[in-house]
Amino acid sequence: MSKIFVVGLGPGNIDDLTLGAIRRMEGGKPNYIRTERHPAVEYMKEKGIEYTAFDHIYDNEESFEKVYEQIVSKLLAAVKIQGEINYFVPGNPMVAENTVKMLLSQSVCQVQIVSGMSFIEPVLETVKADPVDGLKVIDAIGLEAAKVDINSHQIFTQVYNARVMSETKLVLMDIFPPDYDVTLIHNGGMGDREVIERIPLHEIDRSDNIGSLTSLFVPKVDKNVQRIYDFNDIQAIMKKLRAEDGCPWDREQDHFSIRGAVLEEAYELVEAIEEDDPDHVVEELGDLLLQVVFHAQIGHENGDFNPVQVTSSLANKLITRHPHVFFEKNVDNSDEVVYNWNKIKYANRNITRLSEKLRNVPRLPALLRSNKVQEKAAEVGFDWDMIEGPADKVSEELKEVLEAASTHGSGSLVVESEIGDLLFAAVNLSRFLEVNPEVALGRTIEKFTKRLEEMEYMADGMGIVMEEMTLEELDSLWDRVKLQENGDNQD
């Protein structure tokens, strides 16, 4: 079977060439080089070793992916004819070399790696960092924040021009402060040609030395200096709080004892969102996340599940319930997205009947739950066609409440039942008008509270105690507040 020897040229210095690399160069087999832009190629020129380079492909293709595909295609065509060839790449063949990954995934010929020093070693020597403390090597092309790890040293490759460096900076500055100390290493491991720049993060795209042999080193966060934490840190903190030498209160809690806090924190988050206060939203999101981490840690300690199972369950749900994103399935609008989500959810839970769907609605606050139940009924067509239907139903139920109160008296179970029917009808009207009844009622409560507060201020200004005012006087005060409120809204 034909064979390709993939040979590492090291980071750049000719002294870093391995004996194995030199033997392959001088062995008489056809030599191919991904790029001539590497100092070790000078050795081949000095020795008169013939080779074929692929630099011209970079100029003719519009993307790196196309470049790599072209190179691999030419290598496979060459080895088919020549039986055995050498393919030389910068650094170590197994570090940040996409063409090597592609060669290893094919079955046309054998591939053997001849190792070499990667660019990683010179970078670590320059910044004096130990990879045992945590190290990630990340391709900066198309960088996403999810790939960044604040608890590991990071080396970013492919930062070969100011544009890529600027895009990388923008992603990192969403996580790290602008003055975070980082290091640019240009021509790492190449002796006199090596250039080191220790600069703040916000300046990395201003360097005049950026080129194809540039790497960016971002050190792990020192928590004693920068108070930056990620999800793993929160899990570690919660584990510490629940440990024997942790907090007695946290250690005593179980799923049941803190279950109410989940609802409380969720409502406080909703309140922060309605206030349109980003800082408050951040705080309340953290409080709600605390409940997730707290329950996950309790479950782990009980041997019921671990945090990775929680995140995996969520990830799998997001993927399987969005086939239009992760699989080939088209949807026309957001309504169809919601329909497919529910359809997949019911299939996973083996729910087929309407009654089962209604029972599957969680025990939310009554307004929210009634809204959900009505949505399920509407899915099978049990719904009004026109707004007059739910509107007339509200009037009908109000009449029945008054009749029940007249016949059975206040506080009776019959009146309670009719009040429930009235509220259910009001929720139906709200749903028909595409208004969340829980949110609507919450806003009204807030409005009512503010109006009473204004009434109290007015009464204080008049030297009157509200408790001593007649109903007519209170109504008059209420009307004055409403009038003032309407005037402010017009302004």
Cβ-defined contacts of 80-83 (< 8 Å, 24+): 80/2, 80/108, 80/109, 82/2, 82/29, 82/30, 83/2, 83/3
Region 110-122 average pLDDT: 93
Q: DSSP state, 91?
A: B
Residue-wise pLDDT tens digits, 446-489? 888 888 888 888 888 888 888 888 888 888 888 888 888 876 66
Q: Distance between CA 327 and CA 212 in Å, rounded?
A: 36
Q: Distance between CA 12 and CA 16 in Å, rounded?
A: 7
Q: Which residue, chain included where needed, has tokens 């197994």?
A: 94
Residue-wise pLDDT tens digits, 142-166? 899 999 999 999 999 989 899 999 9
324 membership: H or E segment, kind and range: helix 323-326
Whether residue 12 contacts residue 68, with contact meaning beta carbons closer than 8 Å, is answered with no
pLDDT of residue 336 exceeding 80:
no
244 against 383, higher pLDDT = 244
Q: Distance between CA 153 and CA 218 in Å, rounded?
A: 6
Tell me, what's the pLDDT at 363?
57
Tell me, what's the pLDDT at 238?
95
136 membership: H or E segment, kind and range: strand 135-139
pLDDT of residue 50 exceeding 90:
yes
Token digits for 461? 């200004």
Nearest Cα to 118, choosing from 136, 91, 79?
91
Q: Distance between CA 136 and CA 428 in Å, rounded?
A: 54
Give the CA distances from residue 86 to residues 7, 34, 48, 82, 112, in Å, rounded to whole numbers and listed in that order.
7, 11, 16, 11, 10
Nearest Cα to 219, choosing from 96, 119, 136?
136
Q: How many CB atoms lie within 10 A of CB 226?
A: 12
Q: How many CB atoms lie within 10 A of CB 12?
A: 23
Region 53-65 average pLDDT: 85
Tell me, what's the pLDDT at 352?
57
Supply φ then ψ for residue 27, to 5 degrees: -85, -5
Q: What strands, in cross-sheet order, belong to the sheet with 135-139?
A: 135-139, 153-157, 214-218, 181-186, 195-200
Region 279-297 average pLDDT: 95
Tell me, what's the pLDDT at 330?
64
| DSSP E strand boundaries for 195-284 | 195-200, 214-218
Token digits for 182? 């980082």
Region 170-189 average pLDDT: 94
8 membership: H or E segment, kind and range: strand 3-8
Q: Which residue type occupies 470?
A: T
Confidence band of 243 (pLDDT split at 50, 70, 90): very high
Q: Distance between CA 438 and CA 431 in Å, rounded?
A: 11
Token digits for 273? 């969102």
Tell me, what's the pLDDT at 346?
58
Can you state the angle between helices 437-461 and 259-275, rounded to 10 degrees? Answer: 70
Tell me, what's the pLDDT at 491?
37
Q: Distance between CA 83 and CA 49 in Å, rounded?
A: 19
- The whole-model pTM stands at 0.67
Q: Distance between CA 64 and CA 75 in Å, rounded?
A: 16
Whether residue 228 contacts residue 221, with contact meaning beta carbons closer than 8 Å, is answered with yes
Supply φ then ψ for residue 5, to 5 degrees: -90, 115
- Average of per-residue pLDDT values in the chain: 87
Tell me, what's the pLDDT at 337?
53
HSE-up of 166 (CA within 13 Å, CB side)?
A: 4
pLDDT of residue 401 exceeding 70:
yes
175 against 367, higher pLDDT = 175
Q: How many CB atoms lie within 10 A of CB 338?
A: 12
Confidence band of 177 (pLDDT split at 50, 70, 90): very high
Tell me, what's the pLDDT at 109?
95
Q: Reduced to 3 states, what is the DSSP secondary structure of residue 135?
A: strand
Q: Residue ranges of the alpha helices (H) in 88-161?
A: 98-105, 120-127
Token digits for 312? 């995996």
Q: Cα 451 to the chain's mean position, in Å?
A: 41
91 strand-pairing partners:
10
According to DSSP, the β-strands at 195-200 and 135-139 are unpaired
Q: Distance between CA 226 and CA 60 in Å, rounded?
A: 45
Q: Distance between CA 143 and CA 156 in Å, rounded?
A: 9
Q: Which residue type occupies 114?
A: V
Tell me, what's the pLDDT at 80?
94
